[in-house]
A and B are shown apart, each in its own frame.
Chain A
Amino acid sequence: MTVSNVGIVIVSHSPKVAEGAADMVRQMVGDSVPLAWTGGNVEGGLGTDVAAIIAAIGRAWSDAGVAVLVDLGGAETNSEMAIDMLDSGRREKVVVCEAPVVEGAVMAATESSGGATLDAVRRTAEELSPT
């Protein structure tokens, strides 16, 4: 694994969606990008969990930064909360992308696999969203 490539974290209310999106990234883009997913709340239902998002960011960590793809509402606010709780050296290297979670994850990972910067990875994912 090339740790110089930007890491990708997938956060969905559903662990199945998150895992499935991660499967697509691995199959389509390959292993050159650090990747982690998380989904579901601590009770095992649909939802997201701040501590689990922090752990996922840690698993996908790269010195080039980490791009987080989220689905709806709480996934975004909990991801932002998770980023706020990171150490100050890491906090500024993690961004939440305004992009659809599945397509955004594949596109962001494709950009990352070419060695792009965190900013370029986010811009590529956000190209998918209507302006």
Chain B
Amino acid sequence: MNSPCDPVPKTNAMHTGSVLLTNDVGLHARPSVKLTQLAKRFGAHIEFARAATGPWVDAKSPVKVMRFKAAKGETLHFRASGADAADALSAIVSLVQRGFVADDEESAQPPHG
């Protein structure tokens, strides 16, 4: 993991990381779905918040993620625990950094709406 926003494990159990929302619409409908879908690929318990102190939202809950409504310029704080927590955090931070364009998407058009 060599990304500029490397998640730093604070304890053995909990991995944390934060990342700035840079895509124009922020965490809107399509980005929310992508974040949820990516989180669900991991066994780890993954949560995020507007502040490092919470309140925390389950990243695997489509409805809670959709209701979060973070805007461009806000920082999302993530925390994850479980066997694949480090990988999960790295993948999610990377998704946000790419403006929610999926790894396998060829299109130069970033998701919006």
Q: Which A residues are within 8 Å of any B CB, using their own CB? A: 27-30, 106-107, 110-111, 113-116, 124, 127-128
Q: Cβ of B29: which chain A residues have Cβ within 8 Å of it? A: 28, 106
Complex A-B, nearest 4 residue pairs according to Cβ-Cβ distance, in ascending order: A114-B40, A110-B62, A127-B63, A107-B62
Query: Contact: B37 with A128, CB < 8 Å?
Result: no
The residue in chain B whose Cβ has the minimal distance to the Cβ of A24 is B29
A124 to B60, CA, bound (A): 11
Q: Does B41 lie at the interface of the complex (its beta carbon under 8 Å from any beta carbon of A)?
A: yes
A14 to B63, CA, bound (A): 25
Secondary structure call for the B interface: helix
A115 to B40, CA, bound (A): 8
Q: Cβ of A111: which chain B residues have Cβ within 8 Å of it? A: 62
Q: Given that A28-B30, A28-B33, A110-B33 are contacting pairs, would A124 and B61 also be in contact in the complex, using a CB cutoff of 8 Å?
A: yes
Q: Which B residues are within 8 Å of any A CB, using their own CB? A: 29-30, 33, 36-37, 40-41, 60-64, 66
A42 to B36, CA, bound (A): 38
A sample of 17 cross-chain residue pairs with beta-carbon separation below 8 angstroms, ordered by A number, consists of A28-B29, A29-B37, A106-B33, A107-B62, A107-B63, A107-B66, A110-B33, A110-B36, A110-B37, A113-B40, A114-B36, A114-B40, A124-B61, A124-B62, A124-B63, A127-B61, A128-B63
Q: Cβ of A28: which chain B residues have Cβ within 8 Å of it? A: 29-30, 33
A81 shortest CB reach to chain B, Å = 29
A124 to B62, CA, bound (A): 7
Q: Cβ of B64: which chain A residues have Cβ within 8 Å of it? A: 127
The residue in chain A whose Cβ has the minimal distance to the Cβ of B63 is A127
The residue in chain A whose Cβ has the minimal distance to the Cβ of B102 is A30
A28 to B41, CA, bound (A): 17
Q: Cβ of A27: which chain B residues have Cβ within 8 Å of it? A: 30
Q: Cβ of B33: which chain A residues have Cβ within 8 Å of it? A: 28-29, 106, 110
4 additional contacts (CB under 8 A) given A106-B29, A116-B40, A127-B61: A107-B63, A110-B36, A110-B37, A110-B62
A119 shortest CB reach to chain B, Å = 15
A51 to B30, CA, bound (A): 33
The residue in chain B whose Cβ has the minimal distance to the Cβ of A30 is B37
A28 to B64, CA, bound (A): 16
